[in-house]
Amino acid sequence: MFHSKDHKQKNLIDPWAYLGPKRRKMVEESWSGLFRKEILPELPVDALREYYHTSDGRPTKELSSMIGLMILQQMHDLTDEQAVEQFCCNLQWHYALDITDESDKSSYVSLRTLWTMRDQLTEKGLYKVLFDTVARKLAEVFKVDLAKQRIDSVHIQSNMRHLGRISLFVTTIKKFLANLKRHRPGLFEALNEDLKDKYLKKKQEAVFALVKPSQSHGTLGQLAKDVFFLVERFSSVQGVARMNSFKLLVRLFQDQCIVEEHDGEEIPVAKPNKDVPSDSLQNPSDPDAGYCGHKGQGFQVQIMETYDPDSSEDSFSLITHVDVEPAHRSDANALLPAIESATENNMAPEELLADSLYGGDDNCEKAKNDHGVDVISPAMGTTGKGLSLDDFTLDASGKITACPEGRSPVRVRYKKQFNAAFGLGDCRGCPQHERCPVKPGKKAAYLRYSKKHVRLSRRRIQEQTVEFRDKYRFRAGVEATMSEYDRRTGVKKLRVRGLEAVSFAAFLKATGLNIRRAAASGMLKYPAETPFLGQICTPLSLVVHLAERFKSRFEKITNWINKNWTVRSAYLKMAA
What's the whole-model pTM score?
0.85
Averaged pLDDT for residues 544-567: 59
- 381 or 141, higher pLDDT: 141
Highest mean pLDDT among 213-222, 254-263, 441-450, 500-509: 500-509
Backbone φ and ψ for 315, nearest 5 degrees, come out as: -75, 160
Residue type, 154: V
Tens-place pLDDT, residues 205-244: 555 655 656 566 778 888 899 999 999 999 998 889 999 9
Whether the CB-CB separation of 180 and 187 falls below 8 Å is answered with: yes
- As a whole number of angstroms, the distance between CA 316 and CA 459 comes to 30
Average pLDDT, the chain: 87
- As a whole number of angstroms, the distance between CA 365 and CA 363 comes to 5
Beta strands in 120-235 (DSSP E): 148-156
Averaged pLDDT for residues 57-72: 92
Tens-place pLDDT, residues 174-217: 999 999 999 999 999 999 888 888 888 765 555 565 565 656 67
- As a whole number of angstroms, the distance between CA 134 and CA 104 comes to 29
In 10 A of CB 403, how many CB atoms? Answer: 24
Residue 576 has pLDDT above 50, yes or no: yes
Domain extent listing, the chain: 1-124+533-576, 165-275, 389-452
In 10 A of CB 319, how many CB atoms? Answer: 22
- As a whole number of angstroms, the distance between CA 572 and CA 400 comes to 104
- As a whole number of angstroms, the distance between CA 345 and CA 396 comes to 37
- 128 or 222, higher pLDDT: 128
- Tell me which of 6-15, 435-444, 529-538 is least confident: 529-538
Strand (E) or helix (H) holding 414: strand 411-415
Averaged pLDDT for residues 106-132: 94
Helix residue ranges per DSSP H, 357-450: 361-371, 424-428
- State percent of the chain over pLDDT 90: 58
Which of 290, 296, 258 is closest to 277 using CA atoms? Answer: 290
